[in-house]
């Protein structure tokens, strides 16, 4: 019950007018960002990050995580009312959400979406509250080889479990790791890959890359599409909300199943997108009436939203406990931690108790406040889409540039951002995933340090990664995951050899 006491302490840290006000501001900005086309969770957090540079870390993380919750809530609004998923993980929400809006049940669908987001996040936050301190106290015993093995596990599982072509994931990841190494080498102080440029001396800032890759490239991609839209408006009355809530217990199996899927996929780098589809498909498969899905069934909204939000929240668990982000947005929050001078990883729980428990408490509070806020302000936010994109696009470009410049006060970063914008646009169009790149860029230098420290410790002997049971099993698991598709195919082939009669099915 130690966690409970610390959590209460966290709430005490939050209960100041300043922090509550920042939370509201963050949520409103987040919903705004989630509703606007061409912006989403990671972009919003990256662009708004400079606002927090002068704040103390606790206020800053509360505001940023509120932006994140807001963006998650906002994505559901456009999915249901306009059939436009604001984020890839809201695609599954449109399957039943939009038909409900067409039938005039938009208010019901929105309430269902917001409530299930809330439930999903809550389950994941509970998990974080009790699991994160345990994992981090375990990880305190880690030395450099263990840390390198964990980084390796993260990278390998991206390659082995990702749905994109393997070589594209490898390209994206190695490029990210390489760019992370540009500039001054932290161990020897030597310069590398700078080609005599004084601007490259600082290295390539992770946040500048993210703003370009997600913000600028997203604008370019959005412009390619036809931007006309037709949608429904909705006013949510208290009666509708209470009716939906009254029916909630009927769907407890769906909610629980989706929360579980979400938490699992959030911690492993499966991500919210996979979680939302899996939640939807499983709800459909286990339903007594699978035909009614896709025609406006409320369970079809509950299932993907719960899973997506559980996963989005659970992605923060490995970030807090081990310093390894489980999603793109978590990676940006991690970048923020470093800007504020905090060293992400297990020591965070020991050295910065106020900060960690303040953040965890703000997850509870932010979700409650967010739920109330979206339920009351949906019509306002839905009408934001009336603003023509020709007005929104240049404002986003300006915000991106301000964000990129503010990080290091360097004009060079604005050009870098533009370059990454083009790279992101081309990569997205030919199917090179950006998430491994982001992860590699933020973890790159720490992975390299861990590797070199282990090498120095062992005198250059690779066997150090199998020197004890713990590090050995992590490294082996990493290698198994890297070759997972081949192992799967081989075992399926073997299975077929043994049971030749079953091959027809």
Partner 1 sequence: MSNSEIEIVVDDPTAPEANSPAVTNTRVAEAVVCVLLIGFALLLGYDNWRTGIGWDSTGPQAGYFPFYLSVILGGASLYGLVTVLLTRRQDAETFVTRAQLRRVMAVFVPTLLFCLATQFLGMYVASFLLIAGFMRLVGKIAWWKSLLTAFVFTALMFVTFDIAFDVIMPKGPLEAAFGY
Residues numbered 148 to 207 that lie near partner 1 (CB under 8 A) are 167-168, 170-171, 174-175, 177-178, 181, 185, 187-188, 190, 192-193, 195
| Footprint of partner 1 on 371-390 (CB under 8 A) | 382-383, 385-386, 388-390
Q: How many residues bind partner 1, per CB under 8 A?
A: 79
Place of tokens 């998923």: 85
Alpha helix locations (H) across 85-162?
91-102, 106-139, 144-161
Number of other CB atoms surrounding residue 117 within 10 Å: 28
Q: CB of residue 233 vs partner 1: minimum separation in angstroms?
A: 4
Hey, what's the torsion of the CAs at 464, 467, 469, 474, to 10 degrees? Answer: 10
Per CB under 8 A, the list member of 87, 96, 305, 448 interacting with partner 1 is 448
Residue with Cβ nearer partner 1 (319 or 434): 434
Q: Which of 458, 379, 365 is nearest to 27 (CA)?
A: 365
Per CB under 8 A, the list member of 397, 477, 479, 480 interacting with partner 1 is 397
Distance, C-alpha 495 to centroid of its chain: 37
* Rounded Cα–Cα distance for residues 375 and 439 (Å): 34
Q: CB of residue 292 vs partner 1: minimum separation in angstroms?
A: 18
* Rounded Cα–Cα distance for residues 134 and 130 (Å): 7
Residue with Cβ nearer partner 1 (127 or 439): 439
Alpha helix locations (H) across 340-410?
348-351, 353-382, 389-408
Per CB under 8 A, the list member of 15, 395, 486, 487 interacting with partner 1 is 395
Per CB under 8 A, the list member of 102, 197, 343, 473 interacting with partner 1 is 102
Q: CB of residue 189 vs partner 1: minimum separation in angstroms?
A: 9
Residue with Cβ nearer partner 1 (72 or 401): 401
DSSP per-residue codes, 238-249: HHHHHHHHHHGG
* Rounded Cα–Cα distance for residues 408 and 287 (Å): 53
| Footprint of partner 1 on 213-232 (CB under 8 A) | 216, 219-220, 223-224, 226-232
Tokens of 16: 């100041």
Select from 9-17, 313-321, 343-351, 454-462 the region that touches partner 1 (CB under 8 A): 454-462
Q: Which of 43, 104, 80 is nearest to 385 (CA)?
A: 80
Per CB under 8 A, the list member of 11, 415, 466, 484 interacting with partner 1 is 415
* Rounded Cα–Cα distance for residues 111 and 9 (Å): 32
Select from 46-54, 110-118, 288-296, 468-476 the region that touches partner 1 (CB under 8 A): 46-54
Q: CB of residue 278 vs partner 1: minimum separation in angstroms?
A: 27
Residue 415: partners with Cβ closer than 8 Å, 6 or more residues away = none
Per CB under 8 A, the list member of 238, 391, 497, 504 interacting with partner 1 is 391
């Amino acid at each position: 019950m130690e966690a409970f006491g610390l959590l209460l302490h966290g709430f005490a840290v939050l209960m100041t007018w300043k922090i509550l006000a920042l939370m509201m501001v963050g949520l409103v900005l987040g919903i705004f960002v989630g509703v606007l086309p061409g912006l989403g969770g990671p972009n919003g957090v990256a662009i708004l990050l400079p606002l927090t540079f002068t704040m103390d870390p606790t206020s800053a993380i509360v505001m940023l995580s509120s932006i994140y919750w807001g963006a998650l809530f906002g994505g559901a609004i456009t999915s249901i009312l306009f059939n436009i998923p604001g984020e890839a993980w809201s695609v599954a929400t449109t399957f039943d959400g939009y038909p409900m809006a067409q039938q005039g049940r938009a208010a019901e669908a929105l309430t269902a979406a917001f409530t299930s987001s809330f439930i999903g996040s809550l389950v994941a936050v509970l998990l974080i509250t009790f699991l994160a301190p345990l994992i981090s106290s375990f990880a305190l015993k880690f030395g450099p080889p263990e840390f390198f093995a964990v980084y390796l596990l993260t990278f390998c599982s991206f390659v082995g479990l990702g749905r994109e072509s393997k070589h594209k994931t490898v390209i994206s990841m190695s490029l990210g790791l390489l760019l992370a190494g540009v500039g001054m080498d932290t161990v020897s102080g030597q310069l590398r890959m700078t080609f005599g440029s004084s601007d490259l001396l600082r290295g390539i800032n992770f946040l500048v890359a993210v703003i370009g890759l997600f913000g600028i490239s997203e604008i370019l991609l959005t412009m390619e599409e036809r931007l006309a839209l037709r949608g429904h408006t909705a006013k949510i009355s208290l009666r509708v909300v209470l009716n939906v809530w009254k029916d909630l217990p009927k769907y407890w199996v769906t909610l629980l199943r989706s929360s579980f899927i979400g938490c699992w996929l959030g911690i492993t780098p499966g991500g919210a997108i996979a979680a939302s589809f899996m939640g939807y498909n499983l709800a459909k498969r286990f339903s007594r009436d699978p035909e009614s899905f896709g025609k406006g069934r409320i369970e079809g909204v509950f299932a993907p939203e719960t899973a997506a939000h559980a996963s989005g929240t659970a992605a923060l668990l490995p970030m807090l406990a081990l310093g390894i982000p489980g999603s793109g947005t978590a990676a940006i929050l991690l970048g923020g931690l470093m800007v504020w001078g905090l060293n992400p990883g297990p020591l965070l729980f020991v050295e910065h108790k106020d900060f960690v428990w303040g953040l965890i408490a703000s997850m509870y509070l932010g979700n409650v406040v967010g739920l109330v806020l979206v339920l009351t302000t949906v019509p306002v936010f839905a009408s934001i889409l009336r603003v023509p994109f020709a007005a929104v696009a240049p404002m986003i470009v300006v915000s991106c540039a301000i964000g990129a410049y503010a990080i290091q006060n360097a004009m060079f970063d604005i050009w870098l951002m533009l370059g990454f914008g083009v790279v992101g646009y081309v990569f997205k169009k030919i199917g090179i995933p950006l998430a491994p790149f982001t992860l590699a860029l933020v973890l790159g230098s720490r992975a390299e340090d861990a590797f070199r420290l282990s090498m120095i410790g062992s005198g250059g002997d690779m066997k150090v990664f199998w020197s004890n049971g713990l590090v050995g099993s992590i490294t082996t698991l990493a290698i198994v995951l890297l070759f997972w598709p081949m192992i799967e195919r081989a075992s399926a082939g073997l299975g077929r050899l043994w049971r030749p009669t079953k091959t027809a099915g």
